Structure formats: C-alpha cells, structure tokens
Amino acid sequence: MTELIQRTDEQRLAEFMARIERGEKIEATDWMPDEYRITLVKFMQMHALSEVMGALPEKEWVPKAPTLARKLSLMAKVQDEMGHGQLILRVAEDLAVPLGKNREDLVNELFTGQAKFHNVFHMPAPTWADAGIIGWLVDGAAVVSQAALLDSSYGPYARVLQRVCAEEGFHIQHGESICLALAEGTPAQRQMLQEALTRWWESLLLFFGPAETTSASATILLKYRFRTKTNEELRQKFFSKYVPRIWSLGLTLPDPDFRWNESTQLWEYTAPDWSKLKAIARNEGPLSQYRLGLRRISYEQTRWVREALLGGSSARAV
C-alpha cells in the first residue's frame, strides 16, 4: 500500500514538472509538491510583509512633504503599498491552509522574526530626497524583479502581480518627478539628491541578493519556474535601465570602479558588504527594530477595528 502511494506521488510530481515545463500555470487547488508550496508561501509572505513594511519609511514623509500635490501622491502610494500587501497575503493564505497556517499566522510571524521583510525597508530615509530615491530607484528595482515574475508558474501570484506592477509604474514616475525636480533645483537640492543616492547605493546592490544563489529556496524557485531570472541578471537589468539616467542628471555613483565592460557585456561594480544583508535578515539593520516597533503598535492599535468588523458580521448573520 505504502509503495502504491509512493509511486502515485512520484507520478504526480512527474506530471507536475511536465506541466511546469510546458509553461502551464499552477493553481491554488492543484496538487503540488510540498517544497513548492512551502517555498512559495515563504516567498509571497515576505513579499506581502515587505509591501506593508515599505509603507513605513514613506509615510514618515507624508506630514513633511513640501507641497500638497506631493503629499497627495505620497499618500496614494502608501495606500497602494498596503493594498498590495492585502492582495498578496490573500494569495499566500490560500496556499498556507494545508500547512496549518492562516492569515493571522502569516502576519504575526513578522513579529517573531520567522518572517523577514525586504532589506531596503530596514534603512533610514532622513531627507526628502530619500523619499524621491525610494520612489525612483527602490521602486525601480522592485519593478525590475516583479516584472520578471509576471510569467511565474504560480497563476494566482502572476495575476495579482499584474495589478501590483501597474501601480508600481505610477510610483516610479512619482519618484522620478521628485528626483528630476531636485536635480534641476538649487545647489543645495542637488547636493541633497546626491547624498541620498550615495546613501542608498549599497542597499540597491543588496536589494537583488548575492550573485551566487545557492540557497535551497532560490534553487527551488528556479527549478519550478516560479522565477526564471537569477539575482545577477536582475541587477544587471536594473543597472542598464537606471545607471545611464543617473549619470545623465550629473549624479555620481559612490563606486569608482563601476563601469560597462564591452567584452563581457556586463556592468562591473564593487560588491556590497554582504554581511549587512545577513545582519538585516536577523532584524539587526539600522532601523529594523524601530520599524518593527511601529508595525507592532499599529497592529495592536487597530485590533479593535478587526474585531469590530467580525462582531458586526455576527450580529447581521442572525
């Protein structure tokens, strides 16, 4: 009997891989190998929580935005990020059910450190130019990596990403608008922009992760075509899209060795300090604990809303 079940699982895995190789989309209710389910839940959980945590450095600038128009766009953006978190959590929770986890577990694992959030959101945003750089380059890096997932093997995630990417397209234009205004502004504004770029450069390199992706989850994501591009391919694409634009504004990268290598057709750059990524993964980045604290406070302070929404439904259900 055991042998029979074993064989069936092997057959199912073979069918599953054949579907992946034919470019078919996997749906939430389909049979899937455990490692696919577990790795995807982890990935989407991190994506969703990063959307939520990504709103925190930006919302710091809502009260301090220089004009009403900027304040409105920034508010819209913060709202979008929270919306993305909701949509992606919704997709993640469907896959997590057979693992015995619900939506609340996925959210709470942020506080216990079992779930991570993206390295860039552990960093400070001390000036208005940082808000601009986040929109222009951090969201630009996010669009590069998310657009590469639009043909992901997991159907529900690929579908939700279409909406996410469309809205990120607005965010990068907003960020560009801020940075272009500063680049064409006073010497002090130009200097502020240059300082923000210098501050964010290493984080932007760390954003895509190490070139040699040997981690178990990275291998699984590639094997099942959840993603098809490597970290380094995405980083190179980011350079190609953005570095010429950075230079055209008269800004300089804080890396004297950065250059285009004609023979390899690759950008060469000084590697960032990868140990920083590991520290951030342990929530030991510059603002990791501060931002987790903010998130904890807001989660606790809105608990009554979540409970009231449930209370209302039970009254109506009678």
Binding site residues, other proteins, CB under 8 A? 27, 29-31, 76, 79-80, 83, 86-87, 90, 93, 103, 159-160, 163, 167, 307, 309-314, 316-317
Work out how close the CB of 162 gets to other proteins at its nearest, in angstroms, rounded to a whole number: 10
Residue 152 has phi, psi (to 5 degrees) of -55, 150
Work out how close the CB of 75 gets to other proteins at its nearest, in angstroms, rounded to a whole number: 11
Work out how close the CB of 220 gets to other proteins at its nearest, in angstroms, rounded to a whole number: 22
What is the chain's length?
Answer: 318
Nearer Cβ to other proteins (79/191): 79
Work out how close the CB of 159 gets to other proteins at its nearest, in angstroms, rounded to a whole number: 8
Work out how close the CB of 78 gets to other proteins at its nearest, in angstroms, rounded to a whole number: 12
Task: Report whether 177 contacts 136 (CB < 8 A).
Answer: no
Nearer Cβ to other proteins (5/317): 317
Residue type, 266: L
Please give the distance of CA 76 from its chain centroid, rounded to a whole number.
18
- Return the H-helix or E-strand segment holding 196: helix 187-207
Q: Give the largest CA-CA distance in the chain.
A: 77
Neighbouring C-beta atoms of residue 72, cutoff 10 Å: 12
Nearer Cβ to other proteins (30/35): 30
Work out how close the CB of 166 gets to other proteins at its nearest, in angstroms, rounded to a whole number: 9
How far, in Å, CA of 275 to CA of 292, rounded?
21
How far, in Å, CA of 174 to CA of 180, rounded?
10
Nearer Cβ to other proteins (79/219): 79
The residues pairing with 266 across neighbouring beta strands, listed in sequence order, are 261
Work out how close the CB of 27 gets to other proteins at its nearest, in angstroms, rounded to a whole number: 5
Q: 3-class SS at 169? A: helix
Nearer Cβ to other proteins (265/316): 316
Closest to 104 (Cα-Cα) out of 306, 297, 298: 306
* Residue 131 CB-half CA count within 13 A: 26
Q: Residue holding tokens 């996010």? A: 142
Tokens at 253, concatenated: 């990268």
Nearer Cβ to other proteins (33/83): 83
Nearer Cβ to other proteins (167/195): 167
